[in-house]
Amino acid sequence: MKLRLLLLLPLLVSTTACVAGDDSNGTSKINGSVHVEAGQAPSDASSVNGSIEVAANARVEDASTVNGSISLGDHAAAKSADTVNGGVSLDDGAQVSGNIESVNGALKLSPGAAVGGHATNVNGHITIDGAHVGGQVETVDGDIDITGNARVDGGLLVHKPDSGWFHFGIDRDPVVTIGPGATVNGTLKFERPVKLYVSDRATVGQIVGATPVKFSGDQPPAN
């Protein structure tokens, strides 16, 4: 899966729905946050200028916003989560059956969380701590930490930045750390220079485009 303008299509669809007016059940807004309580099961939770908060044990279909973060509480569930300006976080045991996506924002998966599809951003720290990603982890300028017995089944892809819409001129090499007990299956492909640290207790697939620095102990050497 490539980073693409199609990333914005779900957001544009939800924005169009929002402009028509807030939903009667309060799960779609233009300005303001949306909070889904446990026991609620709306088809979608969306905003243009506001965050999406899905409480512990609550469920939604698609969670999307333009300017705001998305958070899923403990054991909450969604089919997808996407934002343009904001992070996406999954607390302990939260599940997204499809993709999580951000343009400018961090992705954070806590222990026991699971994403069935891809975890994608352009700018922002990606943290996968004891969680599972069934697809690929992708970024352009973000650092990546895969720790705490986490598993990524679809490999890693760090895209080459270009002069297009997705790159904002950040002049640094991303830092990618695969910690003790972590597993990254598939290909780890790097289209740009990175600092890649791989624990001697991690399991990784084929590495293309980078030379890993092996480390022992809990943390990589200081940069």
The answer to whether residue 194 sits within a structural domain is: yes
| 203: containing domain | 5-19+29-215
Per-residue pLDDT tens over the stretch 138-150: 999 999 999 999 9
The total number of structural domains in the chain stands at: 1
Alpha carbons within 13 A on the beta-carbon side of 223: 10
Which tokens in the block code for residue 17?
Answer: 């729905």
The answer to whether residue 223 sits within a structural domain is: no
Residue 179 has pLDDT above 80, yes or no: yes
Per-residue pLDDT tens over the stretch 41-95: 778 999 999 999 999 999 999 999 999 999 999 999 999 999 999 999 999 999 9
Dihedral Cα 212, 213, 217, 220, nearest 10 deg: -100
Query: What are the residues whose beta carbons fall under 8 Å from the beta carbon of 13, sequence distance 6 or more?
Result: none
pLDDT at 20: 33
The answer to whether residue 221 sits within a structural domain is: no
The answer to whether residue 156 sits within a structural domain is: yes
The answer to whether residue 24 sits within a structural domain is: no
The answer to whether residue 222 sits within a structural domain is: no
The answer to whether residue 220 sits within a structural domain is: no
CA–CA dist 205, 184 (Å, integer): 6
The answer to whether residue 103 sits within a structural domain is: yes
- Return the closest-CA partner of residue 19 out of 33, 7, 31: 31
Report the predicted TM-score, pTM, of the whole model to 2 decimal places.
0.86
Where is pLDDT greater, at 66 or 10? 66
Three-state DSSP class for residue 137: strand
Alpha carbons within 13 A on the beta-carbon side of 14: 30
